[in-house]
Amino acid sequence: MADKPTIDTAGLPGRLRALPGLDRLQTAVSGIPAYLVGGAVRDLLLGQPHPDLDVVIEGDVAPVASALGGEAIEHERFQTAKVNLGELTVDLARARAETYAEPGALPEVSPATLQDDLSRRDFTINAMAVPLSGEPELIDPHGGADDLAEGQLRVLHEGSFRDDPTRALRAARYAARFGFELERGTNDLVRGADLRTVSDDRIDAELRRLAVESDPARALVLLREWGVLGMPTDAVPVAGEAIRLLAGPWEGVVDRGDALLAALGRGPAGEQARAAAAGLAEATPERPSQAVQAASGRPGVELVLARAMGAEWLDRYVSELRHVSLEIDGSDLMSEGVSEGPDIGKGLEAALSAKLDGEVSGRSEELKVALAVARGEIPED
């Protein structure tokens, strides 16, 4: 297990004050019972930055949103608002209680107190609050600070994973991110989480969040150990390697979430991408032109999975070969008398192959090969 985190409760007010945009937020909520909640409080205690602030209001969200220059969205299920304060995004929500009509269903929500709102949360470390007016003392009814100091994740009640099995995915994400363990009872309960009661969209949304963590493979190992998420046998190394590439030399080739979902073979599209990638990974091109022939036109997700499955030659394809283009185009062939039609494409393709393999360089050599092939003087490869 990782070293236990150092929790600085006494330093909380100072860290809170140092948050950019806090002055505006405090002015907007003056006289209104409003609280910073969730991950922002957890990360303030850990002394780590947190990208956005969740604020719970015991009352109407609209006046706070408009005081901040934003607009409340009358959400079909509940009143929320998102406000951009320059460096900081603030999510406002009315304090709510939640009840689950059936396992895995979206909860029914109703206005409630802060205490109710904290009680509906996933883990104790995410169920703390700090008032935004008055003394900024920690409100921690479920012992979140102690669990944080112990480096453990604890659900708030026995039915937590039954109500919302996506919490198992969240548990794996937090355990991997912070190097935390699951508290003993939670560790037993998580193995009973039944993701079949949840829509694929909700599962995939949580998996996408996992994909942008620094070590998603660690989370996948936990999910496999708990037996909550079915996945192909090589999913952990393939996903881990794909994300490592996308966080480094392959950055931008494809969205990390798409790559993770495909590595896990999620849905028909994921299965199809995995199968295509496995086929590509079998290829052993000897010449650059063969590499381009095998890889070009394929979606990024197939490329990165094939590379993660062992096709190292794709590194050169992605960084260099796929960007190679000719100095000539079809109009150059037409001005030499080649008529419009498939011969032009054949000629250009042959010239590109020759260029990729280092057999020609420069415009006139490209044109020579292209014309020869287009006119049928030499066979295409």
Site for ligand ATP in 232-251 (CB under 6 A): none
Closest CA to 44 of 129, 102, 154, 110: 129
End-to-end CA distance of the chain: 57
Piece of 108-116, 162-170, 193-201, 244-252 that binds ligand ATP (CB under 6 A): 162-170
User: Is 349 an interacting residue with respect to ligand ATP (CB under 6 A)?
Assistant: no
Min separation Cβ 18 and ligand ATP, Å:
19
Task: Judge whether 134 and 141 are in contact, CB under 8 Å.
Answer: no
Minimal distance, residue 45 CB to ligand ATP, in Å: 12
Are the CB atoms for 232 and 274 separated by under 8 Å?
yes
Cβ atoms 374, 333 nearer than 8 A: yes
Return the number of the residue (38 or 265) whose C-beta is nearest ligand ATP: 38
Minimum CB distance to ligand ATP, residue 6 (Å): 18
Residues that contact ligand ATP, how many (by CB under 6 A): 10
Query: Are 262 and 211 spatial neighbours (Cβ–Cβ below 8 Å)?
Result: no
Q: In whole angstroms, how close is the CB of 200 to ligand ATP at the nearest point?
A: 16
- Other C-beta atoms within 10 Å of 97: how many? 16
| Shortest Cβ 277–ligand ATP spacing (Å) | 29
For ligand ATP, give the closer residue by CB, 247 or 334: 247
Task: Please list every residue from 43 through 82 that binds ligand ATP, using CB under 6 A.
Answer: 54
> Is 360 within 8 Å of 348 (Cβ atoms)?
no
Q: Which of residues 118-147 bind ligand ATP (CB under 6 A)?
A: 121-122, 126-127
Hey, what are 327's tokens? 């100095």
Any contact of residue 162 with ligand ATP (CB under 6 A)?
Answer: no
- Quick check: 213 binds ligand ATP (CB under 6 A)? no
Backbone phi, psi, residue 130, to 5°:
-135, 125
Residue 201 sits at φ, ψ, to 5 deg, of: -60, -45
* Residue 237 CB, nearest approach to ligand ATP (Å): 25
Site string for ligand ATP, 20-49 (x = CB under 6 A): ------------------xx----------
Residues 177 and 156: their CA atoms lie apart, in Å, by: 20
Decide whether 167 or 307 has the Cβ nearer to ligand ATP: 167
CA dist., res. 271 & res. 284, Å (int): 23
Chain mean position to CA 173: 11
The nearer residue to ligand ATP, 79 or 166, going by C-beta atoms, is 166
Q: Give the contacts of 341 (CB within 8 A, at least 6 positions apart).
A: none
Rounded Cα distance, 339 and 35, in Å: 73
- Among 164, 204, 349, 366, indicate the residue that binds ligand ATP (CB under 6 A): 164
The answer to whether residues 81 and 70 touch, using CB atoms and an 8 Å cutoff, is yes
Kindly tell me the sign of the dihedral angle through the C-alpha atoms of 106, 108, 114, 119: negative
Binds ligand ATP (CB under 6 A): choice among 166, 186, 289, 353: 166
Shortest Cβ 103–ligand ATP spacing (Å): 13
Interacting residue with ligand ATP among 167, 274, 307, 355 (CB under 6 A) = 167
Residue 160 CB, nearest distance to ligand ATP (Å)? 8
CB burial class (10 A; 0-12, 13-18, 19+) of residue 77? exposed
CB closer to ligand ATP out of 199 and 296: 199
- What SS3 state is found at 231? coil
Look at strands 88-94 and 52-57 and give their pairing: parallel
Q: Which two tokens stand for residue 220?
A: 């996948």
Complex with ligand ATP: residue 54 or 302, whichever CB lies closer: 54
CB-nearer residue toward ligand ATP: 127 or 207: 127
CB atoms within 10 A of CB 10: 7
Output 126 or 152, the one with its CB closest to ligand ATP: 126
**CB of residue 122 to ligand ATP, shortest distance in Å:** 4
Q: Which residues bind ligand ATP (CB under 6 A)?
A: 38-39, 54, 121-122, 126-127, 164, 166-167
